[in-house]
Structure 1
């Protein structure tokens, strides 16, 4: 364990060659000054050099409380309500076989880690909550324990599609024989039969009664997704469905989508032949969490600017949408602070990873109707995420302000807090009092480096050579600003659709085949030609010609862009992209493909960049190139 005090400076717009507008179109108040941050690596179980049974010896762990492998299987989660513990998933390895009591420390388990430098009564700074839970107390348990989120009562924690319950005792005092692991079931059949629907990316609502989740769809050969909100209801003796064991059922489920609602890009119902862009449309793609007052849901939605993947928030009652980020780099995992004044985001900003396609601002998100999967998938190189944690105030990116990187200071050397080979992973989490942020990182390992990949593989300097670590960033200049308790919200989301088990999954509407005019809000227009597939079930090609187009009066767009997209497999997107755009006004920029076009094939689940041809963006004389294949 080590600590480094950081006096962090804000990233400036000069480093990327552009000056973004505020997410909501206003200038916003003056940006906050950078604040001091202290970063500490949190302790984890000791590392065994082998995963073979018995390799975790008493020499490695004298207390016999388990080991992890070099690949920890880590996923850091939320704070317990006392603010002194963080929940995490790890994979124990090397446990002895047979009757040895240390044999319980094996496989995926939930641990809690102390953040204040103290230890549990046995001397460990961490404690396994699920190790040794009797089999009869874990019937129906799902192996995954990802995104662990403690309840406000301190006795339960959501981990994967499970709720771990220690009854009347707090998690910090929980003995394994007292714990229960209850599965969560979403009924998707009219008669209530079967194991239920597949749910992913679960997020506990601050009222501790409702749960947000996502579920994949397969629509016309392409992977899709909808987000849902449901009420957690404990059933000690279910009469239908599987598993027929005490479990939590999801009741009063709402799909956060209404096909009759306005869409991000649609044919204008009032002006035949014209296209309409609706920046305030509630286009919930993947649910990412909730504001701490429980009033808003956060999500990845349809881009507000072309190829720019951002996070939005929608009020669960009114449906009003806020754009939380606007930097052209990729952002996904976010958490809003307890007082609602800040957010922390894992973002690729500063890496220039996405600038080759998203760097030109103020392009309407028309081609995004078919390119969003490809644009979002280029953020990673397999398991190398390029994420780092950023602190951003509630008014978002504006002027020269692009947030403050929490781990910016350091020498950049091996194992340092800003070592570029240690990449941030999902879901940073605020402490209950708003003074700290917990996050986790993974070291670059093959095949994201080495072998045929031109990037060299670093050597881990972490204890035992492990390749994952938990971190905590303390905002040392802040006083406590905890959130207020949240009363249970309504089961009804007025702008959503109540889910009926067994009902067909809807299809997201899109503008049908034809030629449309898109008028700039300030000047000019664009001619948009949409071509559907032969089956007329999806868009295959979008061609746009801009002439003096401007929505803000600051950026004027001329030129053409044409994209054809197909899905060779359910998770793979292939795009043929031809771009010749010129922007004048506040920014002088171009976005151009090579004469033979830019051709990218990428899998949304593996994210390995493979392209022929080029797509290049130049902004005020600075050129941004695409990543090399395989990097």
Structure 2
């Protein structure tokens, strides 16, 4: 039994004001696979022969660690992709320009470009003098709303003010400029362009943790320091930290306080359709439940977008701001064993949140599928609609061996969604793993594919006006060259009480790591704890975190749990004899566990994943 996306008995999502409308009904969705360049049998020179591609416009491989689908062009007729070309003929054959990582456009309407293909390469054959010191990061391809620029990882590609879709856009007129962040050694990651085509959002890891930033692109034709090539600089940078704002959990004397109004942008995931809100992964509201939030750029008002116990991460808003699509593990039961019990305060997440965010994957295998949700998010018994729910069988649109990846995107008129998937491969299956590997049904045996979902009952809509954002976000902090991120807030060790908003209490013991000064052990004893007067928690739970010095991304948890929830739902979260012990690396996502931890909700039992699954 899976948790339904439309109705979860007794599991209320959020308490919302009367202005929020009733949830929408499911709608018809038609899905097809988009064409890609043909697959070459190997990466040896000349493997992409004329018999494989008669147009001599390149081949791609069966597997690629770098392939990524992006979003639509403003006309809604193309999507941007990063592909890895292989097997190009040797020079002087003109086909040798189709080699390595490149940015391409693919038609979505069944038509072709002048070259006779459904695809056109934007970056192939660009003269070296037009692409000096470009950054090796070429992920998350995005076409600007002006149709004349593309964000390609940490680079901007443009074509002398010619629309990128035009046949007039040739390699000789194309320029690729690196994006530079002056005055810092930090490296931006997963950059997102604001709808105004000028501002950017991104995240970055430092020795103090992960922070997110907002800044403006400024062309620098003749830089005097840093890379001495024409480039785009990130200027007027804000670090998205509220200097005088509350922490998610604070101490007031002998009591703990939880502040849901705290702005805690862990990882920036993009912007709303108009650009008036920043979309992000934030501090958990319920134990082990990783969710998406939106914060208004001016007011700092926060909306919780998802609340289903499964993991939500990549997200895209429609241009009319009425819908979003997220890649989510809901329906897979991947997270239910640790997050399925709702309305539990996020106390153990002081030490367990990294593990909770990491088990969504098994190595390179993800368990995401696209979920369509209206702009108001999960609420009451509404948890969206799985875009690819129909089908069945090997290679079908809902084959669980084909897993969603980042990022999905809406067409500008709101009638289409594009997303891409990868097929499970070794070592997540086959070899020493007892799970067999499936055979790919994609062209040439490809292990990645791009899917187009047509929302067939919809009437096209117009994008809402782009929100005029200031250079400096009112609630954030300026972050100039040479600045250091502020120290992260950690709750001090000690014995505290957290009172439920509707009654009951939790006695909490926090033990901090003596060297790092961060929480190491969280122990909680619940007595009729309730925040909503409908769900009551009793029992004991304790988690201890160990982070090896030689591997700061690795987490080992020793877990004891025996808590019971009564009221609208009867649920139990319990470890087996000897407790539960798990290790996971946040970069590798390989799950290794000993012992058991199960969550039972109204008689349905959810077990932790097997070490090989």
Q: TM-score range by the shorter chain?
A: over 0.9
Question: What is the DSSP-based 3-state SS (H/G/I as helix, E as strand, rest coil) of the residue aligned with 1:374?
Answer: helix
The yes-or-no answer on 1:451 pairing with 2:443 is no
Conserved 8 A contact 1:367-1:542: yes
> Which of residues 412, 418, 424 in structure 2 aligns to 1:438?
418
The yes-or-no answer on 1:201 pairing with 2:201 is no
Post-superposition CA distance 1:592-630 (Å, at most 9, x none): 111211111101111111011111100001100000002
Q: Which residue of 1 aligns with 2:36?
A: 44
> Which of residues 49, 56, 69 in structure 1 aligns to 2:61?
69
Q: Which residue of 2 aligns with 1:118?
A: 111
> Which of residues 76, 82, 86 in structure 2 aligns to 1:83?
76
Conserved 8 A contact 2:6-2:385: no
Distance of aligned partners of 1:546 and 1:26 in 2 relative to their CA distance in 1, 3 Å threshold: farther
The yes-or-no answer on 1:58 pairing with 2:77 is no
The yes-or-no answer on 1:240 pairing with 2:232 is no
The yes-or-no answer on 1:210 pairing with 2:199 is yes
Please list, as runs of the form range in 1=range in 2, the aligned pairs for 1:533-552 lying within 5 A after superposition.
533-535=513-515, 537-552=517-532
Q: Which residue of 2 aligns with 1:294?
A: 275
Q: TM-score, normalised by structure 1?
A: 0.94
Q: CA separation in 2, counterparts of 1:15 and 1:553?
A: 21
Q: CA separation in 1, counterparts of 2:604 and 2:468?
A: 51
Q: CA separation in 1, counterparts of 2:471 and 2:428?
A: 44
Q: Which residue of 2 aligns with 1:193?
A: none
Q: Which runs of 5+ in 1 are unaligned?
A: 1-9, 190-195
Q: Which runs of 5+ in 2 are unaligned?
A: none
The yes-or-no answer on 1:309 pairing with 2:290 is yes
Question: What is the DSSP-based 3-state SS (H/G/I as helix, E as strand, rest coil) of the residue aligned with 1:172?
Answer: coil
Post-superposition CA distance 1:527-585 (Å, at most 9, x none): 11111111252111111111110000010001111111121112111111111101100
Conserved 8 A contact 2:11-2:342: no
Q: Which residue of 1 aligns with 2:585?
A: 603
> Which of residues 573, 587, 593 in structure 2 aligns to 1:591?
573
Q: Which residue of 1 aligns with 2:171?
A: 176
Q: CA separation in 2, counterparts of 1:488 and 1:124?
A: 39
Q: Which residue of 2 aligns with 1:575?
A: 557
Q: CA separation in 1, counterparts of 2:56 and 2:494?
A: 69
Distance of aligned partners of 1:23 and 1:148 in 2 relative to their CA distance in 1, 3 Å threshold: farther
Conserved 8 A contact 1:423-1:442: yes
Post-superposition CA distance 1:309-340 (Å, at most 9, x none): 00000001110100000000000001111222
Provide the aligned length of Structure 1 versus Structure 2. 607
Question: What is the DSSP-based 3-state SS (H/G/I as helix, E as strand, rest coil) of the residue aligned with 2:338?
Answer: helix
Please list, as runs of the form range in 1=range in 2, the aligned pairs for 1:401-412 lying within 5 A after superposition.
401-410=382-391, 412=392
Q: CA separation in 2, counterparts of 1:284 and 1:27?
A: 26
Q: Which residue of 1 aligns with 2:183?
A: 188
Post-superposition CA distance 1:485-524 (Å, at most 9, x none): 4254101112111102212222211211111110000111
Q: TM-score, normalised by structure 2?
A: 0.97
> Which of residues 12, 16, 28 in structure 2 aligns to 1:20?
12
Distance of aligned partners of 1:81 and 1:622 in 2 relative to their CA distance in 1, 3 Å threshold: same
Shift of 1:452: 1.6
Post-superposition CA distance 1:199-228 (Å, at most 9, x none): 101000011110001101223xxxx31000
Shift of 1:278: 0.9
Q: Which residue of 2 aligns with 1:4?
A: none
Q: CA separation in 2, counterparts of 1:510 and 1:169?
A: 51
> Which of residues 243, 253, 264 in structure 2 aligns to 1:283?
264
Shift of 1:266: 1.1
Q: CA separation in 1, counterparts of 2:5 and 2:44?
A: 51
Q: Which residue of 1 aligns with 2:92?
A: 99
Shift of 1:292: 1.3
Shift of 1:383: 1.2
The yes-or-no answer on 1:475 pairing with 2:455 is yes
Post-superposition CA distance 1:457-489 (Å, at most 9, x none): 000111111110111111011111121342541
Q: RMSD in angstroms over aligned alpha carbons?
A: 1.6
Which has the higher mean CA deviation after the structures are superposed, 30-39 or 229-238? 30-39
Q: CA separation in 2, counterparts of 1:594 and 1:499?
A: 48
> Which of residues 321, 324, 329 in structure 1 aligns to 2:310?
329
